[in-house]
Amino acid sequence: MPTLEFTAALGRLAANHLWQSTGFAAVAVLLALALRANHARARYWLWLAASVKFLVPFSVLAAIGAGLRPLFIPATPVSRFPFVFEEVVQPFAPIPDMGLAAVRSAPGPVTVAALPVLLLALWLCGFIAVLLYGWVRWCRVAAAVRSSTPLTEGRELEAWRSTQRRGEMESCPTGIVSSSANLGPGVFGIFRPVLWLPAGIGDRLEDAELEAILAHELCHIRRRDNLFASTHMLVEAIFWFHPLVWWLGARLEEERERACDEEVVRMGGEPQVYAESILKVCEFYQASPAACAAGVTGGELKKRIEGIMTNRFARKLGYGKKLLLAVAALIAVAGPVAIGVANTPRVRAREAVRAAVLSASTGVSGLARTGRAVQPAVAAPRPVPSQGAGRSLVLYFDLQGMPAQDRTRVRDAAQKLLGSLMTPPDKVAIMTNTGEVKVLQDFTDNRRLLLHAALNLTGTDAQAHAGSSTPDSLQQLTALESAVKMLAHLPEKKSLVYFSSGLRGNGPGDAAQLRSTINAALQANVVFYPYDSRGLAVESAIKEPLYAEDVK
């Protein structure tokens, strides 16, 4: 069963990729409208790019940019600023993001755990259905080709060789077969294409008509249309639930056939003869059932015939439109790569923060301790005999300088946390900092005692010390280090939920004290879960760069 963290991460990844691909396709639509008077092959490549984008997330290009960063940006000294506390300096994101989902209501565990499985099963059913449908149609054409007879002589073979010479593809190793199936002419195969012709087609078409049909199929081979059609079939199978994918498939087929029509006329085909040959093929034969087996009858036939008869083929791209396409391609490809090059440290830092907060132990070592000492006001929390596999949780409230409304919020959050997150084997202690570190409640599994202690967070003593002074980030960090050291004598891992109104982290000596606090937490086997009483997430005030190498 997938974890909530994995499900949330996968959902964000899929949602980002879908909206990015949809946005990319929307840009392709606008560009296609700008090119509606130009060659069909230009619009075809736009639709194909929009299709392929569904297979290539922008994050992949950004990752490539991250790998190329050393080639463009000189290496900077590695900061030893620890990750686990980046969100303390921010100030913190809300507790639910740290995995403590009990602060706010959430669906039951069975529903949350079952939903991704149901969605995955639904997607898998659609994926298999689309693949199976395409495979059946492919097998139908493959069976017709296997039962065909290779052509070694006749009008059809001579017309094919003449067409190859005109198309300058005499060295093309394409085989030509005659099939008894009632399927129109087409090209089968991706890497070694085979041209199949229905038996007796030479008796139904004049020489010029036959050569026009063969020229159309030669264009499909030269353009490798079967390969690109197969690529889009894969996109349709993976993203079968996205209507835009199917709309792109129709546009690809339409522009593919129109591009071949343009090429046939450009090669010297007579428009009226060519149009009549297409109509005859449609009259006597069925269209190819497989999208990746290109024939002559695809696309919107009425529009194709009108375009051929009126010789209404587009003009070439001007320099302005070529520049427009070049800029769009550069932005689409080089843009994410450039973002990866520029933002590597930031991205890696955020990933490391997430991993550090959710892991059992993170931090750095070997950094000198500086800053003032804060003596605990009472004895350190006492260990409680272990009963089962419970957790040791510490609710630490940094009340110094905390406004009254924030104290009310953290009190309510603590009560919710104790009411829904705490399980019977857990042992919880409550500590505060009001200028000195106090233990309001020793480790206990008595929920009533803990809730009573949480109520005291808005008591007279807390109010007297909490709002009486401006928060001193150095004192806050030093007090937190003292609290961590008070827990060091307990051998098991401790999870410290740090409630605060935020930590500025930009005073003299703050960075050094922060390192010292993290070192103490590492030695005491303490993991921080920051919680900002305001639920804010802002940029760090300490502008030092962060690197994943800092996590040891």
Tell me, what DSSP letter sits at residue 287? P
Q: Are residues 301 and 326 in the same domain?
A: no
- Cα–Cα distance between 417 and 404 in angstroms, integer? 20
Q: Are residues 155 and 257 in the same domain?
A: yes
Residue 209 inside a domain? The answer is yes
Element (H, E) at 134: helix 109-146
Give 168-214 pLDDT, tens digit per residue: 665 566 778 888 877 888 888 888 888 888 888 888 888 888 888 88
Residue 116 inside a domain? The answer is no
Q: Are residues 305 and 322 in the same domain?
A: no
Nearest alpha carbon to residue 278 among 251, 252, 299, 256: 299
Q: Are residues 287 and 331 in the same domain?
A: no
Domain boundary among 282, 309, 336: 309
Q: CA-CA distances (angstroms) from residue 34 to 115, 293, 325?
A: 43, 30, 10
Nearest alpha carbon to residue 467 among 507, 501, 444: 501
Residue 8 inside a domain? The answer is yes
Q: Are residues 445 and 396 in the same domain?
A: yes
Residue 407 · residue 420 · CB < 8 Å: no
Report the domain count for the chain: 3
Residue 173 inside a domain? The answer is yes
Q: Are residues 196 and 288 in the same domain?
A: yes
pLDDT of residue 488 exceeding 50, the answer is yes
Backbone angles phi, psi at 524, to 5 degrees: -90, 0
Q: Are residues 389 and 433 in the same domain?
A: yes
Residue 38 · residue 315 · CB < 8 Å: yes
Place of tokens 């964000």: 12
Give 25-72 pLDDT, tens digit per residue: 999 999 999 888 888 888 999 999 999 999 988 888 888 877 777 776
Over residues 128-144, the mean pLDDT reads 89
- Cα–Cα distance between 72 and 58 in angstroms, integer? 20
Nearest alpha carbon to residue 48 among 217, 233, 221, 262: 233
Q: Are residues 402 and 524 in the same domain?
A: yes
35 versus 94: the higher-pLDDT residue is 35
Angle at 471 between CA 467 and CA 473, to 5 degrees: 155
Place of tokens 């990752």: 63
Tokens at 448, concatenated: 């009533």
Q: Are residues 381 and 509 in the same domain?
A: yes
Over residues 218-239, the mean pLDDT reads 91
Q: What is the percent of the chain where pLDDT is above 70? A: 72
Residues 6+ apart with CB under 8 A from 9: none
The alpha carbon of 383 is separated from its chain's Cα centroid by a whole number of angstroms, namely 45
Domain range holding 37?
1-75+317-345
Q: Are residues 419 and 298 in the same domain?
A: no
Tell me if the bond preceding 107 is cis, omega within 30° of 0.
no
Residue 86 inside a domain? The answer is no
- Cα–Cα distance between 373 and 396 in angstroms, integer? 18
**Model pTM greater than 0.75?**
no
Residue 476 inside a domain? The answer is yes
Q: What is the percent of the chain where pLDDT is above 90? A: 15
pLDDT of residue 363 exceeding 60, the answer is no
Per DSSP bridges, beta strands 437-444 and 427-433 are antiparallel
Q: Are residues 35 and 162 in the same domain?
A: no
- Cα–Cα distance between 37 and 33 in angstroms, integer? 8
Predicted confidence at residue 302, as pLDDT, reads 81
pLDDT of residue 484 exceeding 90, the answer is yes
Residue 87 inside a domain? The answer is no
287 versus 326: the higher-pLDDT residue is 326
Place of tokens 């132990």: 361
pLDDT band at 228 (very low <50, low <70, confident <90, very high): very high
Tokens at 234, concatenated: 């894969």
Nearest alpha carbon to residue 457 among 420, 432, 494: 432
Give 415-473 pLDDT, tens digit per residue: 888 877 777 778 899 999 888 888 888 888 888 888 888 887 766 555 555 545 566 78
Which CATH number fits the domain that encloses residue 531?
Answer: 3.40.50.410
Task: Give me the chain's average pLDDT, please.
Answer: 75
Residue 90 inside a domain? The answer is no
Q: Are residues 303 and 376 in the same domain?
A: no
